Amino acid sequence: MKRQLSRKRKQCYFCILFIVLVFGLTACAKKSAEYEYVSEEHMHEGTWLVWPHNHTAAFEYYKVPENAPSYRDSLESIWVAMTKALHTGEKVHIVAYNDEEKLHIEELLVAENVDMSQVDFFIYETNDIWARDIGPIFVHDQKNQKNVIANFEFDGWGNKQSHDKDNGLAQAVADAYGFDIIQIPELVLEGGSIECDGAGTLMATKSSIASKNRNPDKTLAEVETTLRKYLGVTNFIWIEGAVGEDQTDAHIDGIARFINDHQIFVCNKEEYKNLYRNVSNESDWDIISTAKNAKGQAYELVYLPLTKNVITTYGVQQKYYGSYTNYYIGNEVVLVPQYSDPNDAVALEIIGKYYPDRTIIGINCANLLYYGGMIHCVTQQQPSP
């Protein structure tokens, strides 16, 4: 009996020691990281938006929809709604194509009673509107205790459209606002291709980072080394994704999102079959469902449905379902994609349960989805100093 108790006691000690080591190593790795990606739910100084304009390069990839207004006219009501929702809780930094566009935007926002002292304009010609991918990615410099810009290379989602102007936006912001900038030419990376839980874990698709049209000469281990160095992550969840599925090659923010360091939003396995148009990659769902965080603990899955119906835009069925994981967390609000679908209300209710201290605001983005994106794709947070 004494031997049994002694053996159990030893097993207990080993368990405690293992837990202490895991927690300690994770904390040490995070503390020793030179830079750290600040997760979206942390306090923002502001949000960056790139306002739609008719000088877009989007039609190099997408067909011009029949009977549709101009690119700007089709989309800018979404930007008005985002600015109106965000500006009471943080600054809204708007990238306007030129001074003429700035005046146009000001008129729209004033008409919606937006407090213009909360809006900051930055004049810069862009190729397109995807702030998540082309805007400044802010990381925290641990040594100097300040936010800096991590300037990864941008290649137009695998050279699918012109991107010469977009690739210079982060540098232009750094120059104009006085941010230090870290040049990272060795890795092609878009902001929408990474999802971090704020506690050391990064989730991503191989198709949008470790692929032939992004970083063809890099192994997955080499990609991870760069991400560890500049984002401060220590643990990785890689799913295959789908090359050629869309312009982004299946960014993670339309597939699954961390709610925190122990819960993940994702659709159920049956719906996951409808997530991609051209492939059915159920093994990706299995990877997400069995993923563990940096402490070695399994994540709890919280099911967030896709739309009930395929999306219809400009009177044409687009042959795919809408995702609600592409929401954006502001200081006071959560902006959730809506599609005039029966599941819109379901998604708002589910997301609201996990962000009780924020107002949940739905924004119809069916027109935006035609061009391959949703709310998270066109927003980029700037953390508070």
* pLDDT tens per residue across span 134-164: 999 999 999 999 999 999 999 999 999 999 9
| Of the candidate ranges 130-139, 176-185, 241-250, the one whose mean pLDDT is the lowest | 241-250
Decide if 66 is inside a domain: yes
pLDDT at 41 (0 to 100): 95
Task: Say whether pLDDT at 169 is over 50.
Answer: yes
Decide if 307 is inside a domain: yes
Task: Say whether pLDDT at 6 is over 80.
Answer: no
| Domain span including residue 154 | 36-383
* 315 vs 361, more confident: 361
Q: Is 339 in contact with 366 (CB distance < 8 Å)? A: yes
Burial classification of residue 312, based on how many CB atoms lie within 10 Å of its CB (0-12 exposed, 13-18 middle, 19 or more buried): middle
Decide if 30 is inside a domain: no
Mean pLDDT in residue range 187-211: 97
pLDDT at 31 (0 to 100): 53
Decide if 244 is inside a domain: yes
Q: How does pLDDT run across 328-348, given as a tens digit for each residue? A: 999 999 999 999 999 999 999
Number of structural domains (the chain) is 1
pLDDT over 70 for what percent of the chain?
A: 91
Decide if 31 is inside a domain: no
Decide if 73 is inside a domain: yes
Which CATH number covers residue 138? 3.75.10.10
Decide if 25 is inside a domain: no
Mean pLDDT in residue range 358-373: 96
Decide if 17 is inside a domain: no
Which residue's structure tokens are 């395929």?
A: 310
pLDDT over 90 for what percent of the chain?
A: 83
